[in-house]
């Protein structure tokens, strides 16, 4: 069974550009969450999608957005990139996303560098 797949693995952009990251969850999983990991702030929750609807959102500016497709694949977009957006972006999937007892499966992440 394939794991959570994130593409691309590495990305280099310049300030002001926009970027789209992709996440394919484990087959059958309907919940996809996104996290930002930086050395200074650690792991921070961005948003969660379930059945194409955003269910939770973290404390990030509107430049960060996402969506989920009918096949549960998800994309996140960051517009007008800033240097501080350089981070490892992790995607996690689970079957239903409801409640706190469900195991999350994480992808290897997309390493974004903003120059």
Partner 1 sequence: GDSVTQMEGPVTLSEEACLTINCTYTATGYPSLFWYVQYPGEGLQLLLKATKADDKGSNKGFEATYRKETTSFHLEKGSVQVSDSAVYFCALSDLNNAGNMLTFGGGTRLMVKP
Binding residues for partner 1, total number by CB under 8 A? 28
Q: How far is the CB of 19 from partner 1 (least distance, A)?
A: 19
33 binds partner 1 (CB under 8 A): yes
Region of residue 72 (left: phi > 0; alpha: psi -120 to 50; beta: else):
left
Contacts with partner 1, 62-101, as mask; x by CB under 8 A: ----------------------------x-x-x--xxxxx
Cα–Cα separations (whole angstroms), residue 12 to 5, 63, 66, 96, 113 = 19, 18, 20, 33, 5
Which DSSP symbol is given to 110? E
List alpha helices for the chain, DSSP H: none
Residue placing its CB nearer to partner 1 in the complex, 14 or 113 = 113
Position among 19, 21, 26, 48 found at the interface with partner 1 (CB under 8 A)? 48
């Amino acid at each position: 069974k394939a794991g959570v797949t994130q593409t691309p693995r590495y990305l280099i952009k310049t300030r002001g550009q926009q970027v789209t990251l992709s996440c394919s969850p484990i087959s059958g999983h309907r919940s996809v969450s996104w996290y930002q990991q930086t050395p200074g702030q650690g792991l921070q929750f961005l948003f969660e999608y379930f059945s194409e609807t955003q269910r939770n959102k973290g404390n990030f500016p509107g430049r960060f957005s996402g969506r989920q497709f009918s096949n549960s694949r998800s994309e996140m977009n960051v517009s007008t990139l800033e240097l501080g957006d350089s981070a490892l972006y992790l995607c996690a999937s689970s079957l239903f996303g409801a409640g706190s007892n469900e195991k999350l499966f994480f992808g290897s992440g997309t390493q974004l560098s903003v120059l």
